[in-house]
Amino acid sequence: MKKLYLIALFISICSACYPQETISISPDLELIQISDNAYIHLSYETIPDYGRVGANGLIFIEDSEALLFDTPWNDSLTCELVTYLEDQMGLKIRGFVPNHWHADCMGGLECLKHKGVVSYANQATIDIARRKGLPVPDIGFTDSLELKLGETPVFCFFPGAAHSMDNIVVWIPSEKLLFPGCICKSLDARTLGNTADGDLHSYPGTVDRIIEKFRQAEIIIPGHGLPGGQELLTHTRSLCR
């Protein structure tokens, strides 16, 4: 009975957050509309010990311009995504922000640099990227950043260490959409996942701050798995125990 309930719950979440058909750009790259002006880009990579893993990123669109949050896993998939957005959807990418330094967030940054897309990141992300010899985002911020796409504001916040020491969240008030990325777990997650580069001691307090600050969020996108609502944050908080 419990299994049937969970299946029904996931179908309900999927229907609410995926109102349109998935656009298959390539075997490892999909695009899914989740609100009037926002899409999830879903990319897949085979990871040792984990198998084929899907990772979520976000695209926010205003008229013919877009902001990109997280890249697909690598430069090849990222260039496929950018080409599709430009050629098939007629969009100009005005900026990029990664959630944190891992490959499922900025593994395609070199592609964006070659295409002249300006990138913003938590200063801690920039510092880590430099230490690890990774491509480095252009502009750093501490605590928070406000971007505008047209006249629409988009906010990036550092809520504290959790999945990684540098992870941020993205809040788009016009869509009531929150993208906490890998800080937040999908409802089928049974653990906090990979926390090797994070802070388990700080994780609960970080999630509590996100819950308190973003009570108006109606669409919440985890780093991996299905999106949902506030229940994703409360589920993540329960996993911290």
**In angstroms, what CA-CA distances link 203 with 163, 167, 197?**
7, 11, 12
182 is catalytic: yes
Q: 235 pLDDT exceeds 70?
A: yes
pLDDT of residue 20: 58
Mean pLDDT across 89-103:
98
**Residue 104 bears catalytic tag:** yes
The domain ranges of the chain are: 22-239
| Coil, helix or strand at residue 50 | coil
Instruction: Identify the weakest region by mean pLDDT among 16-30, 199-213, 223-237.
Output: 16-30
Which pair of structure tokens corresponds to residue 33?
Answer: 């509309």
May I ask the CATH class of domain 22-239? Answer: alpha beta
Q: For the chain, what percent of residues have pLDDT higher than 70?
A: 91
163 catalytic per annotation: yes
Catalytic residue among 17, 111, 163, 235: 163
Residue 5's pLDDT band, with cuts at 50, 70 and 90, is: very low
Residue type, 211: I
Please check the confidence at residue 67 and state whether its pLDDT lies above 50. yes
pLDDT in tens, 161-203: 999 999 999 999 999 999 999 999 999 999 999 999 999 999 9
Q: What is the pTM of this model?
A: 0.91
Residues 111, 156, 182, 184: which is the catalytic one? 182
Question: Tokens at residue 140, please?
Answer: 């750093």
Contact criterion met (CB below 8 Å) for 118 and 138: yes
Closest Cα partner for 174 from 13, 20, 16, 36?
36
pLDDT band at residue 2, thresholds of 50, 70 and 90? Answer: very low
Burial 121-146 (b: 16+ CB within 10 A, else e): bbebbbbbbeeeebebbeebbeeebe
Residue 194 known to be catalytic: yes
- Which of 41, 70, 102, 235 is catalytic? The answer is 102
Has 3 been annotated as catalytic? no
